[in-house]
Amino acid sequence: MSDFKIICLSENPEYMERSIEYIKTRWPLDDRIYEDCISNSINTPNGLPRWYVMIEDGEFIGSYGLIVNDFISRQDLWPWFAALYIEKSARGRRLGSVLLEHGRKEAGKFGYDKLYLCTDHIGFYEKFGWTKIGTGFHPWGEESSIYSADTIKESL
């Protein structure tokens, strides 16, 4: 395995335009949603949202975001781990688990005790310490399972 880097876009805005194109082509939402969210996350004083890309040999091979709302009815829960993606050519190397752990650490740095996600992929997240806590509803009428995991707080 080559060395990979996980880049936080708010700390590395030079990657923003390329990252926006990458993320919005991986998720079937109106392009404006990711473009608006990511570009405005760069200078937010609130800490969230935060977007991350995984780069190997100069190529993007994965991404995720920490956001305050993942288009789900459970507005009492946050932050959300969202838009996890690993390139097909990079799958099978446990890179998804690397990004999941990274997200839990990043949320812990912000002082959160729990991190949430919504998904249709039953059986995947359980392997990495996530627990299904219920079902949520999207504005477009679909349901998703909601999972939570404890954040990871590293000592200095």
**Whole-number Å distance between alpha carbons of 114 and 80:** 9
Q: Is the pLDDT of residue 18 over 80?
A: yes
Distance between start and end Cα atoms, the chain: 29
Give every CB contact of residue 156 below 8 A, 6+ residues apart in sequence: none
Q: Is the pLDDT of residue 118 over 80?
A: yes
DSSP annotation of 13: G
Q: What is the 3-state secondary structure (H, E, C) of 10-64?
A: CCCHHHHHHHHHHHHHHCCCCHHHHHHHHHHHCCCCCCCCEEEEEEECCEEEEEE
60 membership: H or E segment, kind and range: strand 59-67
Tens digits of residue pLDDT in 29-77: 888 888 999 999 988 888 899 999 999 999 999 999 999 999 899 999 9
Q: Is the pLDDT of residue 1 over 70?
A: no
Average pLDDT over the chain, rounded to whole? 93
Query: Average pLDDT, stretch 120-131?
Result: 94
Q: Other C-beta atoms within 10 Å of 125: how many?
A: 22
pLDDT of amino acid 53 = 97
Centroid of chain to Cα 152:
15
CATH fold for domain 4-150: Aminopeptidase (3.40.630)
Helix (H, G, I), strand (E, B) or coil at 151: coil
Q: What are the structural domain ranges in the chain?
A: 4-150
pTM: 0.93
Is 77:28 a contact under the CB 8 Å cutoff? no
pLDDT of amino acid 77 = 96
Query: Average pLDDT, stretch 8-31?
Result: 90
Is 61:54 a contact under the CB 8 Å cutoff? yes
